[in-house]
């Protein structure tokens, strides 16, 4: 039974895994839960389906898609070579919020990788995603299920709000446990490079394979497309800084606050999101995107946000906040 039907009558939110599998086998798109964020999934081997993913998201085709598989042991079906360090990371973190960028086999359409000889491959940990992938004989291409450039969805309702008219079914797996996209690691002549900070902290990666290079991207250097500077952006302008100083500087405006541990005194609580009162990075990550969406829905002039300490998941959270604050 559908739990919720959107106004458009186009999409259904439900928990019917067999229905999701049947739609995917027919080449249709289904929004699926993963432990990081919800994905907009379709058959990665079918060009028409992959095209419809780009279209539904309004995503430029120069921004490649991650493929999702059920089991890392089958990775060699899709990639040509697996460096030792990639294998070590896979062993340590998969299934989980890590994506590996590896040389693709020809069976992966060029459309998926935007013409690159490398494919991004991930093994999600969410039990519903795993069940679906185990039932299919093709990998799923799945970008985050949001319109291009907007905040990633961490609940089924978030997906329905923005893509509801474009997809037949949204599988509801509850709120995402991690709340940040996967960490993307690639290799440049065997040397590991982090292309996107995400759900696996860099410190944890370095514990397994030693020092890594972190590639910081800007809008003028979109080599890992999707890491355009202005990304994960709410519609309401967002500024970063010390909350009390921001309040002094921008008095007279209708503002909201995204705080790490403590709210800004004097501002109504319903205009404030505290990411984690106990200062826990994982909890902060879980609440980040939903908090930004909530504030973005309040019709504010400005959102104030403060950065977290620059360590572990704080680095990935700060990366999203900086992009959200980037001028468009």
Among 144, 155, 182, 318, binds Mg ion (CB under 5 A): 144
Q: Does 12 bind Mg ion (CB under 5 A)?
A: no
Question: Is the Cβ of residue 43 or residue 144 nearer to Mg ion in the bound state?
Answer: 144
Question: Is the Cβ of residue 52 or residue 144 nearer to Mg ion in the bound state?
Answer: 144
Binding site residues, ligand TXA, CB under 6 A: 34, 36-37, 39, 63-66, 97, 99, 101, 113, 116, 118-120, 122, 142-144, 181-182, 184, 195-196, 224-227
Closest CB to ligand TXA: residue number: 226
Angstrom distance (rounded) from CA 258 to CA 44: 37
Residues ≥6 apart with Cβ < 8 Å to 148: 57, 58, 59, 60, 63
Minimum distance between the CB of residue 232 and Mg ion, rounded to whole angstroms?
Answer: 8
Angstrom distance (rounded) from CA 101 to CA 129: 20
Minimum distance between the CB of residue 27 and Mg ion, rounded to whole angstroms?
Answer: 22
Residue 142's Cβ-count burial label (10 Å; 0-12, 13-18, 19+) is buried
SS3 195: strand
Angstrom distance (rounded) from CA 127 to CA 257: 34
Angstrom distance (rounded) from CA 192 to CA 86: 8
Minimum distance between the CB of residue 203 and ligand TXA, rounded to whole angstroms?
Answer: 19
Minimum distance between the CB of residue 317 and ligand TXA, rounded to whole angstroms?
Answer: 14
Question: Is the Cβ of residue 195 or residue 281 nearer to ligand TXA in the bound state?
Answer: 195
Region of 38-46, 84-92, 97-105, 136-144 interacting with Mg ion (CB under 5 A): 136-144
Residue 122's Cβ-count burial label (10 Å; 0-12, 13-18, 19+) is buried
Query: Which positions lie near Mg ion, rule CB under 5 A?
Result: 144
């Amino acid at each position: 039974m559908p739990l919720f039907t959107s106004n458009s009558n186009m999409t259904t939110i439900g928990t019917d895994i067999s229905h999701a599998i049947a739609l995917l086998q027919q080449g249709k798109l289904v929004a699926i839960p993963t432990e990081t964020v919800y994905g907009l999934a379709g058959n990665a081997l079918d060009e028409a389906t992959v095209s419809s993913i780009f279209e539904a998201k309004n995503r430029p085709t120069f921004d490649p898609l991650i493929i999702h598989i059920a089991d890392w042991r089958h990775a060699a079906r899709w990639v040509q070579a697996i460096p030792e360090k990639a294998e070590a990371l896979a062993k340590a973190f998969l299934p989980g919020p890590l994506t590996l960028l590896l040389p693709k086999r020809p069976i992966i359409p060029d459309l998926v990788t935007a013409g690159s000889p490398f494919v991004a491959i991930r093994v999600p940990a969410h039990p519903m995603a795993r069940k679906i992938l185990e039932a299919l004989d093709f990998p799923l291409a799945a970008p985050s299920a949001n319109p291009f450039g907007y905040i990633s969805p961490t609940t089924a309702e978030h997906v329905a709000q923005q893509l509801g008219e474009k997809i037949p079914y949204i599988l509801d797996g509850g709120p995402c446990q991690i709340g940040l996209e996967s960490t993307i690691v690639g290799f440049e002549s065997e040397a590991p490079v982090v292309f996107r900070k995400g759900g696996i902290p860099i410190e944890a990666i370095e514990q397994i394979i030693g020092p890594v290079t972190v590639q910081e991207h800007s809008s003028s250097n979109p080599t890992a497309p999707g890491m355009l500077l202005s990304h994960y952006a709410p519609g309401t302008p967002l500024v970063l800084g010390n909350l009390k100083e921001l309040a002094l500087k921008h008095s007279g405006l209708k503002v909201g606050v995204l705080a790490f541990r403590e709210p800004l005194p004097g501002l109504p609580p319903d205009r404030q999101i505290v990411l984690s009162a106990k200062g826990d990075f994982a909890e902060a990550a879980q609440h980040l995107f939903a908090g930004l969406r909530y504030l973005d829905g309040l019709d504010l002039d400005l959102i104030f946000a403060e950065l977290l300490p620059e360590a572990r998941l704080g680095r990935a959270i700060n990366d999203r906040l900086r992009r959200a604050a980037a001028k468009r």
